[in-house]
Amino acid sequence: MLAPKRRLGINSSFSMGSLETPTGAENGSAPAAGNGKSPSVDGAEMAAESDVLKRRRSSVLPLEVGTRVMCRWRDGKFHPVKVIERRKVPNSSPNDYEYYVHYTEFNRRLDEWVKLELLDLDSVEAVVDEKVEEKGATGLKMTRHQKRKIDETHVEGHEELDAASLREHEEFTKVKNIATIELGRYEIETWYFSPFPPEYNDCLKLYFCEFCLNFMKRKEQLQRHMRKCDLKHPPGDEIYRSGTLSMFEVDGKKNKVYGQNLCYLAKLFLDHKTLYYDVDLFLFYVLCECDDRGCHMVGYFSKEKHSEESYNLACILTLPPYQRKGYGKFLIAFSYELSKKEGKVGTPERPLSDLGLLSYRGYWTRVLLDILKKHKGNISIKELSDMTAIKAEDILTTLQSLELIQYRKGQHVICADPKVLDRHLKAAGRGGLEVDVSKLIWTPYKEQN
């Protein structure tokens, strides 16, 4: 079971100094306490300072939505936040609120409710009426490992939204409605808002059946459901099995409830522009780890049944407990193996977020460099596209970013120096889990109907 992430509930404290007792007389005078003040005078100053703090506290509380302030995060350090929402603490004083804050240096997935004692009231800034949230505030210095853990995400972004639509999206989804979910043997903290039906508005935790993805409010409901649910794997056809890994193809039209539940679940971890309720138009490819208890979902990707733009992937997610294990790269590679079976080139649905582009650029880089190394650069972009099912435009932009292509006499020429290729391959890192094509048994959708 994944325990919820620990939050540091460190109370704010004020250092008032201590009284010092000198060890001897000076110039024949009587010993004095510390700085020469009597304890009664020092005590009076402490009381006066306490009154000042109380008045300041009462003057700024409760904090208004939009207030900017410093907040102690789970790393024990203070970081700038913006107050997104507030709620009254039951059975408390009039100014006693909890605050939902956005850490302006971090992704929205780390937004959370915090108690007042985690906020530094001396750092309170006036409320600023901002029409559009400032983009790209990244003043925090982090190690590469910390940045990777915080920023690792998937392919969906908001680049296609205009300012008004972005404001509407952020207003509607500003507060996470579900804090945690239970899925199989894992308890997982959620990242984003998901538009569950209104009857689940009062639930901070939901319990999912890991096989049919039905969700319930209480553990007892899940236990009763599990005694009756006869599924031990996603509905649909198993199209791949290699060792303990299986891939199931689920038709959104044939398994509408499962498709919708999968979208609800995925939205908790993807900051999508929209959530599609019409799942009939999509195929879902659900990756599972299998054992004697059944097939447990690791992640998935979806694709349109018919895409005029040659998209071979619409949405992709690796669930948090299974991240950093190469499954995301496996899902991307699998989408291209399906494109090869279809006899067409493919590309992920646009627009890609910055991090989504990084994920794909990493995959494209490894695949293309391996082929260039084997062929010693004697290969055209069209031949690369035919071999990999990667769209020619994606190949061109990838090679340009690696400075492996030049434009000579009206055409693009690949420049593949072996040492340069080795350097780029080393920088690209390992390729992740391999797709064993011999284990893929699949008929393209058009051929099925």
Catalytic residue among 289, 349, 403, 447: 349
Residue 366 DSSP one-character state: H
CA 355, 356, 361: angle at the middle one, nearest 5?
Answer: 95
Residue 385 carries which side chain, given as an amino acid letter? S
Distance CA 171, CA 258 (A): 28
Phi and psi (nearest 5°) for 281? -85, 0
Strands of the sheet with 180-183, listed across from one edge: 186-189, 180-183, 205-208, 215-216
Whether the Cβ atoms of residue 84 and residue 69 lie closer than 8 Å to each other: no
Whether the Cβ atoms of residue 66 and residue 48 lie closer than 8 Å to each other: no
Helix or strand or coil: residue 402?
A: coil
For residue 209, which of 168, 282, 164, 264 has the smallest C-alpha distance?
264
Active site residue 134: no
- Side-chain-side CA neighbours of 170 within 13 Å: the count stands at 21
Residue 116 carries which side chain, given as an amino acid letter? L
Residue 48 DSSP one-character state: H
| Active site residues per annotation | 349
